[in-house]
A and B are shown apart, each in its own frame.
Chain A
Amino acid sequence: AQKVTQAQTEISVVEKEDVTLDCVYETRDTTYYLFWYKQPPSGELVFLIRRNSFDEQNEISGRYSWNFQKSTSSFNFTITASQVVDSAVYFCALSAYNTDKLIFGTGTRLQVFP
């Protein structure tokens, strides 16, 4: 069975702090995809990143970076120098190669205070 665990329910930081959101996944598939989505108060899920299971290179996009480690089944997301606009619920998700069904974690609510 596939499962995504986001153990951090809520995180509060002050602007300019760095913050890491944890994601641990379970799957028996050898080929799979991992995702991060952001859900602001408006409700729309905003796509942030997609990685396949064969690409363990870390990725950096502006203030965002992702650390994928197959050895620990983790796909963690770090925001550097957080801003108030980063306040949202962040979801980690998993899908197998031959299915488009996304399995989501329960999300981590990030609050960035000025």
Chain B
Amino acid sequence: DAGVTQSPTHLIKTRGQQVTLRCSPKSGHDTVSWYQQALGQGPQFIFQYYEEEERQRGNFPDRFSGHQFPNYSSELNVNALLLGDSALYLCASSYRQGTSTDTQYFGPGTRLTVL
């Protein structure tokens, strides 16, 4: 049973560039959430996708956008990269039950470095 997978593992970009990160959920899961984890901090919620729509959003600017595909996989896009966007980006998947979902299971993350 494959867990949550993310690609790429590492990424180096320069300020102003755009980046796309990818996530495949755990088998049987239909909901994907994205988190940003700065060095030495706890993860911060970016947004969540269910049924190909953004359902919840944290306190992140519009430069952060996403997409969910019919197979439940998801992308996180960040435009006009800033040095402060350097972080570990974690994807979590879960199964939706009623108005809330079951436990979120995390992938290994993508480490983004912005120079």
- What residues make up the interface of A, taking CB atoms closer than 8 Å to B? 4, 35, 37, 42-47, 50, 91, 93, 95, 97-107
B99 on the A face (CB < 8 A): yes
- A101 & B100 in contact (Cβ 8 Å cutoff): no
Main secondary structure of the interface of B (DSSP, over half): strand
Main secondary structure of the interface of A (DSSP, over half): loop
- B104 & A102 in contact (Cβ 8 Å cutoff): yes
Which of these, B41, B43, B88, B108, contacts A102 with CB under 8 Å? B43
Contact with A along B87-115 (1 / 0, CB 8 A): 01010101000011101111111010000
**A-B residue pairs in contact (CB < 8 Å), sample of 9:** A43-B109, A44-B108, A45-B90, A45-B92, A47-B105, A98-B99, A100-B56, A100-B101, A105-B42
B24 on the A face (CB < 8 A): no
A111 CA to B110 CA in the complex, in Å?
Answer: 24
B58 on the A face (CB < 8 A): yes
A101 touching B56 in the complex, CB below 8 Å, given contacts A106-B42, A107-B42: yes
